[in-house]
């Protein structure tokens, strides 16, 4: 990862370059605006660090050009003269973060690592997309974690077979999207994909929905009805929530899977059917078999190829990528930013509702954003106050050494300002020697007022 450091103060350049190179980054240095713009064009750095006050046109020009050349590229702005208006303008132009000098090098390196981590995730996801470029149906399957790579590989391996597949996963993990991807990758992709939730209908209606019925088969059966098996003929039938399938219907489903024939409710004609069955369960079917609520023979009939979808808490590294994907999907063409600290807090939350809960959070944040270009942390974080508090505390608590250093630097600055920069008077005011003051000014990287 290449980092462009646009800074003209030699001491900052030396210490930052050492810290960044020690962290594994390749550092490109520019001491003025023109050199920075030239490096942006020629080297295309992954991350840009720029001071606001640079010889030449200044850091805002570097920021604008960096974002113009590559939208989404992380740009961190540094300044010793921070104002609210300046910070707002920098964020409006696309800055990822805004740092006031002096700062701890470790804090800035951490920021750069967070920004480059997003670049790595996006690159990995792009590589996966390119690997699947010849495939169709993966548009809504996002992730580069090992667990999701395994899911992608399994889909690519089994999609073209006619084997029955059982997708196991908690509610909200995207089981129907996986079933759709399996269908689109199969030899049956030109035929229908028909889905039904076994939990959504009572037993009396479910049988009719699956197999169809003849006119007069029961009260209100005023006309003949084609069932889902018939509608899916030649294609794929997706049986969602099969763990909720009533026992009497389980018997009839087993016969269809064994014989590949069925009868409409109230009918006598045996009809052949050519389908590929994909089932999904949110519960352990093995446990249901032990309990006696699910037929063991049906379990073995549908569990030919198991495919497990991981819950979001097992692939939290995918959260930032998912957030960007969902913002793009629901943003109605608008571009929204999400801060690194907010993404980090979202990664810490276990998301019991999985991707569905995350999607709801993104939609809520977009709806409440109004004219703002950055999605609010308060709107994106879960509504559960217990988790909101936990994530906020984790963000607010910093190492004690860092807090004390910040307070000490601020206090010395105020003392310098009160004496007009007179170091002897400042030392006396603080109750320390001139030598100790000089060492602290050097260690805390504090300049005199006006510098």
Is residue 354 within 8 Å of residue 311, measured between CB atoms? yes
Q: Which residues contact 314 (CB under 8 A, 6 or more apart)?
A: 147
Question: Which tokens is 201 given?
Answer: 């209908």
| 34 lies in some domain | yes
Q: Which of 124, 153, 177 is the last residue of a domain?
A: 124
Angle at 409 between CA 404 and CA 411, to 5 degrees: 95
Does 329 share its domain with 357? yes
* Secondary structure element (H or E) that encloses residue 319, with its range: helix 319-330
* Secondary structure element (H or E) that encloses residue 226, with its range: strand 225-226
| 417 lies in some domain | yes
Does 92 share its domain with 202? no
Question: CA–CA separation, 37 vs 63, rounded Å?
Answer: 10
What one-character DSSP code corresponds to residue 242? G
What one-character DSSP code corresponds to residue 265? B
- Per the structure, the complete domain to which residue 72 belongs is given by 2-124
Question: CA–CA separation, 48 vs 28, rounded Å?
Answer: 9
Burial class (CB in 10 A: 0-12, 13-18, 19+), 173: buried
| 451 lies in some domain | no
Whole-model pTM over 0.85: no
Question: Which tokens is 344 given?
Answer: 């980090």
Does 287 share its domain with 337? no
Is residue 409 within 8 Å of residue 444, measured between CB atoms? yes
pLDDT tens digits in sequence order for the chain, 451 residues long: 889 999 888 888 888 888 999 888 999 999 999 999 999 988 888 899 998 888 998 889 999 899 888 877 889 888 877 666 777 778 778 888 878 887 888 888 888 888 777 777 666 665 555 555 444 455 568 887 888 888 888 988 899 899 999 999 999 999 999 999 999 889 999 999 999 999 888 887 898 899 988 888 777 778 888 899 999 999 999 999 999 999 999 999 999 999 999 999 888 889 999 999 999 999 999 999 999 999 999 999 999 999 999 999 998 888 988 998 899 889 988 888 888 778 888 888 889 899 999 999 999 999 998 888 889 888 888 766 555 544 444 444 455 566 667 778 878 888 888 888 888 888 888 888 888 888 888 877 776 544 4
- Classified as helix, coil or strand, 394 is helix
Q: Which of 258, 291, 310 is the last residue of a domain?
A: 310
């Amino acid at each position: 990862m290449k980092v462009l450091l646009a800074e003209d103060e030699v001491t900052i350049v030396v210490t930052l370059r050492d810290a960044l190179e020690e962290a594994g980054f390749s550092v490109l240095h520019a001491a003025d605006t023109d050199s920075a713009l030239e490096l942006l064009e020629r080297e295309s750095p992954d991350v840009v660090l720029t001071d606001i006050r640079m010889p030449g046109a200044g850091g805002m020009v570097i920021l604008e050009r960096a974002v113009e050349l590559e939208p989404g590229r992380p740009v961190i702005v540094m300044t010793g003269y921070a104002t609210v208006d300046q910070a707002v303008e920098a964020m409006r132009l696309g800055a990822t973060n805004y740092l006031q000098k002096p700062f701890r090098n470790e804090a800035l390196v951490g920021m750069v690592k967070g920004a480059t981590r997003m670049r790595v995730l996006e690159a990995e996801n792009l590589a996966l997309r390119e690997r699947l470029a010849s495939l169709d149906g993966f548009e809504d399957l996002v992730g580069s974690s090992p667990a999701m790579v395994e899911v992608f590989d399994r889909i690519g391996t089994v999609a073209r077979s006619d084997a029955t597949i059982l997708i196991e996963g908690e509610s909200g993990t995207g089981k129907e999207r996986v079933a759709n991807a399996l269908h689109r990758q199969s030899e049956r992709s030109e035929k229908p994909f028909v889905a039904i939730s076994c939990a959504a209908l009572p037993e009396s209606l479910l049988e009719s929905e699956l197999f169809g019925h003849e006119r007069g088969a029961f009260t209100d059966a005023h006309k003949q009805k084609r069932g889902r098996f018939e509608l899916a003929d030649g294609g794929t039938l997706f049986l969602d929530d099969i763990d909720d399938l009533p026992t009497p219907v389980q018997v009839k489903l087993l016969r269809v899977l064994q014989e590949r024939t069925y009868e409409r409710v109230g009918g006598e004609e045996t009809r052949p059917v050519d389908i590929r069955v994909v089932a999904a369960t949110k519960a352990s079917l093995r446990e249901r078999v032990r309990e006696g609520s699910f037929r063991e023979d049906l379990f073995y009939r549908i569990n030919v190829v198991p495919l497990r979808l991981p819950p979001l808490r097992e692939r939290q590294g995918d959260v930032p990528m998912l957030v960007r994907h969902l913002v793009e999907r629901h943003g109605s063409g608008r571009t929204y930013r999400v801060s690194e600290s907010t993404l980090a807090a979202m990664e810490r939350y276990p998301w019991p509702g999985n991707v569905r809960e995350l999607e709801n959070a993104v939609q809520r944040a977009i709806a409440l954003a109004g004219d703002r270009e950055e999605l609010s942390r308060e709107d994106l974080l879960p509504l559960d106050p217990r988790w909101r508090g936990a994530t906020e505390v984790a963000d607010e608590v910093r190492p004690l050494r860092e807090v004390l250093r910040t307070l000490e630097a601020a206090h010395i600055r105020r003392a310098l300002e009160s004496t007009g920069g007179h170091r002897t008077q400042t030392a006396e005011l603080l109750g320390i020697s001139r030598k100790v003051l000089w060492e602290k000014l050097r260690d805390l990287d504090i300049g005199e007022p006006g510098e």
